[in-house]
């Protein structure tokens, strides 16, 4: 009886509570899930690296840690450090001084000293240096600082010649054994290629910035005396002081001369970022040769004024093509007149290549040298047959006359500002 009472007095034994079971299950689930995630991530990474032919460094293997670099167009990884080192002694710092007369309050004239700076490129071991005309082309005094292995050295420089419209100038310093930069083929460039800009922005010597070729064949009107065509556009940082410096490809070759940057902000609009422009190296090389020989640049001359075709023009004139240029002027005695080109002709191809984009005909002419032959394909309206005929002409490029160059500097023959005179065109249609 006592034993029975003792048994009944004890608390009954119970199994684990439902809350404990749920908590334990959740804990094990979280641990298992986390472990599985880690293993899956490791396996995925390991498989990904193995597909690339790479392995993670072992603990005692002595292998270097994996370094991932930006990919290049050639399939490898660009070595920016190597490229910068290749140009280190070929890029120079330019300081300029100009003495500018300024009127005084009492009718006299005082002299104001203005200083400038920029960048240049050594183009020969004998001391010839290429830069922008707006950097040093009309300076009273020019000093060039060159980087040697033993340190920096400043030299006085002589202006050999230059061209304001092309924005290039050649200097000469009395030095020998300099490290000249190598020039590449700017015609081989493609948008998206890696490039490096080297210069002295705001006086910070030998600054390197990296970007890509954003576009090709850009046209810029920077003033009455400077209209540049066929420029390279890049997003590599270009600032005041970079002018005249090199734009370099990943082989360490100069493919452009940095010359301008677009800032925007006109009329209170937003500021632009990373829109810089460079003169193609092929044009710069030709200019250097001409300036060294004659002190001036020869301009390829066809002798036409033209208007790029727009969709509006095509519709209203019923033109037979969507791209190209309409000839609205032929200069007397010019290569164009001698080749039989007429006002109203529609130029659609130059040297077998279709004309696309702004100022495409101007770029095709500019790439020629004096004495070269330019092949053009035209469309000409035949009034008697009331149809467009296809014509092919060959024009021998001449050196532009001084009068033509003066008119260019005055904006008379700028394609974007040419006066349209539809009644003078031999089409049966008008605006």
Q: Any catalytic annotation for residue 187?
A: no
* Cα distance between the two ends of the chain: 125
Which residues, 6+ apart, have CB-to-CB distance to 97 below 8 Å? 113, 114, 115, 116, 139, 140, 141, 142
Q: Where are the beta strands (DSSP E) in 200-316?
A: 207-223, 226-234, 246-248, 254-261, 276-280, 300-301, 304-308
| Cα dist from 403 to 143, 221, 388, 407, whole Å | 34, 20, 34, 6
Considering the candidates 90, 134, 235, 345, report the single residue annotated as catalytic.
Answer: 134
Q: Any catalytic annotation for residue 167?
A: yes
DSSP per residue over 345-397, as a string? -EEEEETTEE--STTHHHHHHHTS-TT-EEEEEEEEEETTTTEEEEEEEEEE-
Considering the candidates 209, 214, 243, 334, report the single residue annotated as catalytic.
Answer: 243
Considering the candidates 167, 230, 235, 345, report the single residue annotated as catalytic.
Answer: 167
Q: Which residue is it, tokens 């290569």?
A: 335
Dmax over CA atoms of the chain, in Å, equals 141
Three-state DSSP class for residue 289: helix
CB contact at 8 A, 380 and 330: no
> Which positions are catalytic?
134, 167, 243
């Amino acid at each position: 009886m006592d034993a029975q009472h003792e048994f009944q007095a004890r608390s009954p034994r119970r199994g684990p509570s439902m809350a404990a079971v749920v908590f334990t299950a959740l804990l094990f689930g979280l641990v298992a899930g986390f472990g599985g995630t880690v293993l899956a991530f490791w396996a995925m990474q390991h498989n990904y690296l193995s597909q690339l032919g790479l392995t993670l460094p072992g603990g005692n293997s002595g292998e270097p840690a994996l370094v991932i670099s930006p990919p290049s167009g050639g399939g490898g990884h660009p070595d920016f450090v190597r490229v910068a080192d290749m140009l280190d002694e070929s890029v120079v710092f330019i300081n300029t001084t100009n003495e500018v007369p300024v009127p005084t309050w009492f009718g006299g004239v005082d002299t104001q000293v203005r200083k400038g700076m920029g960048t240049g490129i050594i183009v020969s071991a004998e001391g010839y240096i290429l830069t922008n005309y707006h950097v040093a082309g009309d300076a009273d005094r020019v000093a060039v600082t060159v980087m040697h292995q033993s340190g920096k050295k400043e030299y006085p420089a002589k202006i050999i010649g230059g061209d304001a419209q092309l924005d290039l100038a050649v200097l000469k310093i009395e030095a020998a054994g300099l490290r000249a930069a190598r020039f590449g083929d700017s015609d081989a460039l493609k948008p998206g290629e890696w490039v490096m800009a080297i210069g002295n922005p705001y006086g910070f010597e030998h600054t390197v910035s990296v970007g890509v070729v954003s576009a090709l064949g850009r046209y810029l009107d920077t003033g009455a005396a400077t209209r540049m065509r066929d420029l390279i556009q890049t997003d590599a940082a270009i600032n005041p002081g970079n002018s005249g410096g090199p734009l370099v490809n990943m082989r360490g070759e100069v493919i452009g001369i940095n010359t301008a940057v677009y800032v925007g902000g006109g009329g209170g609009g937003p500021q632009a970022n990373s829109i810089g422009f460079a003169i193609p190296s092929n044009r710069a090389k030709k200019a250097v040769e001409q300036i060294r020989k004659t002190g001036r640049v020869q301009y390829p001359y066809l002798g036409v004024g033209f208007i790029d075709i727009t969709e509006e023009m095509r519709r209203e004139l019923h033109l037979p093509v969507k791209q190209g240029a309409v000839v609205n002027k032929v200069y007397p005695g010019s290569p164009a007149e001698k080749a039989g080109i007429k006002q109203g002709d529609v130029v659609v191809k130059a040297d077998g290549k279709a004309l696309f984009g702004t100022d495409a005909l101007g770029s095709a002419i500019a790439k020629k040298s004096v004495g070269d032959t330019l092949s053009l394909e035209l469309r000409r309206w035949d009034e008697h047959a009331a149809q467009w005929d296809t014509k092919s002409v060959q024009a021998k490029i001449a050196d532009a006359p001084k009068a033509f160059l003066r008119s260019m500097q005055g904006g008379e023959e700028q394609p974007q500002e040419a006066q349209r005179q539809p009644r003078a065109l031999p089409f049966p249609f008008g605006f």
